[in-house]
Amino acid sequence: QFRKGRLLLSFGEYLDLFATAPQLYGRDAATYVRDMFDFYGTTEVGKPWGTVRRWNLFDLPWEDGPDARRDALVGQEDVQAEVYRSLCNFVREGRPNRVILTHGPNGSSKSTLAACVMRALENYSTLDQGPLYRFHWIFPSTKTVKGSLGFRDGREPRPNVSGESYAHLADSEIDARLVIEVRDHPLFLLPVEQRRALLDELYASSELDGRPPQWLLRGQLAHKNQQVFEALLNRYQGSLSEVLRHVQVERYFVSRRYRVGAVTLGPQMSVDAAERQVTADQSLGALPTALQATTLFEAYGELVDASGGVLEFSDLLKRPLDTFKYLQLSVETGEVALSHQNLQLNCVMIGSANEIHLAAFREHPEFPSFRGRLELVRTPYLLSYADEQKIYDVQVASQVQRHVAPHATRIAAMFAVLTRMMAPEADAYSGELKEIATSLTAIEKADLLATGQVPARFGIDQANLLRASIRELYDEGRARSIYEGILGASPREIRGLVLDASQSPRYRCLSPLAVLDELDELCTRVSQ
């Protein structure tokens, strides 16, 4: 399995692998995430006004077990479409040059959306369609080669080792392995002109559409890699092939737990990236003399950990402005300035914010300069009680140890949606539709948006007109400044309420009557 997965390669082996599928192995973060969306595909979902496209990754189809769907994203197809549109724009523009900022009330699934994307990346990176590679430096011992620690004079005979690379040497044959944390692409080891010529040739011979990503065409090595590369190149008197023998290419996998390509950054005050000196570490004392005399710095932090994948800024606007002001320049230039280097960014940034903080941020003098660096995606509460019920069925009903009576979760979902409903505004409609829309009660509107059910009190012509205008009615509420879905009961509140109802001593099951009792208490608390 290790060999079949091509987990450890020499540079030459990787170059052969890259030539088989340049588009697969040469993707930047935006293209990688966009391709991941495409890989899992879409499904047409029926709505009262027609069909909409839903991305399958948000249903977590690769996970098994009874709790597999607990963390799936319910509804929010419009939000999914906006995120995908932003990713496609990043690919067209050559890199992620804006932060996708989902904004909405607390509990509107902003964090769930980002978590689903990260979980999908974890699974995708393990598949043949989603390989990711980085490289490290290998320095063989004096027992393996003549000379000191891999630095041979060009006039000496070739070392008696298997193959042309040090990448596959056993631990006993290695004095030092310099791990690179930034995850530079292996092709960055080739000079830019030769790299461009190689990519043009590969794309032409493979008859691929488009051009290679600008990140791959113009990218450069991180500071530590560049220092090692130059030291080796000088010692080998300009022989690139000798330098590349020290390269060990490694396949890596996205992991949220170990913060590899998927990182969530909370609203803390700390800096997101920094660097530290590594040559002071005595465990690296086996490095060649030329490198021990070179001051090497390694970058670290969330921006480094998220390289090649997704960085989520949870509750971004809860942080003081100074802690994320660097994003103004960084997302525009694709670099973040550190003490000793400019770190090249290669990650998709997704942030979240509630409407209160966003409204305050809009009044800040700095907001106009930030506005062009943000891709605002509105994420309201659900307005379909049929979708809302799925949340409570999966997250509550499936976990309750007692019998769940019919309609218990439906009543909770209907109440939640009714608290979010707004009456249609007369100025938004004309003709007969104006009279019909403004006459709708809250429950009639909720039934209309959830199931397409038209009130029986309307005649045939009126019913047909209303049925044909459901989308217009839905969009009218979303177009307001205080939009429909910005206010009301949060799914978190209702979920806790249903759990309380399941423990009611008055009923032997999770009864709709128990839910009504809890709703009555909730309304009493709110009114007080």
Tell me: the pLDDT tens digits for 319-345? Answer: 888 777 778 778 878 778 777 777 788
- Which positions ≥6 away from 191 have C-beta within 8 Å? 240
pLDDT at position 149 is: 43
Q: Where are the beta strands (DSSP E) in 324-467?
A: 335-337, 342-344, 348-353, 374-378
User: Is the pLDDT assigned to residue 241 strictly greater than 70?
Assistant: yes
User: Is the pLDDT assigned to residue 32 strictly greater than 90?
Assistant: yes
Sign for the pseudo-dihedral over CA of 117, 121, 127, 131: positive
pLDDT at position 169 is: 83
Alpha-carbon torsion, ordered 203, 205, 207, 208, to 10 deg? -20
Pairing, β 132-140 against β 297-301: unpaired
As a whole number of angstroms, the distance between CA 437 and CA 466 comes to 8
For residue range 152-192, what is the model confidence (pLDDT) as tens digits? 444 343 444 444 788 888 877 877 788 888 888 999 999 98
Give the tokens for residue 212.
């290679």
Mean pLDDT of the residues in the chain:
84
Residue whose entry in the numeric block shows the structure tokens 């009557």: 513
- Mean pLDDT on 13-32: 90
Sign for the pseudo-dihedral over CA of 267, 269, 273, 279: negative
As a whole number of angstroms, the distance between CA 291 and CA 279 comes to 8
- Mean pLDDT on 427-431: 85
8 Å CB contact between 522 and 419: no
Closest CA to 345 of 384, 319, 306, 317: 306
pLDDT at position 336 is: 80
Find how far residue 248's CA is from the centre of its chain.
Answer: 28
Rounded to whole angstroms, the maximal C-alpha distance in the chain is: 97
User: Is the pLDDT assigned to residue 279 strictly greater than 60?
Assistant: no
User: Is the pLDDT assigned to residue 67 strictly greater than 90?
Assistant: no
* Alpha-carbon distance values, 292 to 13, 139, 182, 226, 255 (Å): 29, 13, 20, 15, 33
Alpha-carbon torsion, ordered 275, 278, 280, 281, to 10 deg? 130
- Which positions ≥6 away from 96 have C-beta within 8 Å? 29, 30, 90, 331, 345, 347, 348, 349
Closest CA to 252 of 199, 190, 205, 185: 185
Q: Which residue has the higher pLDDT, 270 or 454?
A: 454
- Mean pLDDT on 92-103: 89
pLDDT at position 400 is: 79
Band of pLDDT at residue 315, cut at 50, 70 and 90: confident
pLDDT at position 458 is: 87
Sign for the pseudo-dihedral over CA of 114, 21, 18, 1: positive
For residue range 493-527, what is the model confidence (pLDDT) as tens digits? 898 888 888 888 888 888 889 889 889 888 888 77
Band of pLDDT at residue 100, cut at 50, 70 and 90: very high
Count of CB atoms situated within 10 Å of the CB of 307: 23
- Mean pLDDT on 203-214: 78
pLDDT at position 393 is: 87
User: Is the pLDDT assigned to residue 282 strictly greater than 50?
Assistant: no
Q: How many residues does the chain have?
A: 528
For residue range 336-393, what is the model confidence (pLDDT) as tens digits? 877 777 778 888 999 999 998 888 888 888 888 888 888 999 999 999 999 999 988 8
pLDDT at position 286 is: 57
- Mean pLDDT on 266-293: 58
As a whole number of angstroms, the distance between CA 313 and CA 415 comes to 32
Residue 471 — φ and ψ, nearest 5°?
Answer: -65, -40
Task: Please name the residue ranges forming H helices in 142-222.
Answer: 192-205, 214-218
Calculate what percentage of the chain has a pLDDT beyond 90.
25
For residue range 116-134, what is the model confidence (pLDDT) as tens digits? 999 999 999 999 899 999 9
pTM, to two decimals: 0.87
Residue whose entry in the numeric block shows the structure tokens 């109440």: 415
Bridge partners (DSSP) of residue 300 are: 274
8 Å CB contact between 274 and 336: no
User: What letter represents residue 340's amino acid?
Assistant: H
8 Å CB contact between 235 and 121: no
Give the DSSP per-residue string, 401-427.
SS-B-TTHHHHHHHHHHHTT--PPPGG
DSSP code at position 460: H
User: What letter represents residue 338's amino acid?
Assistant: L
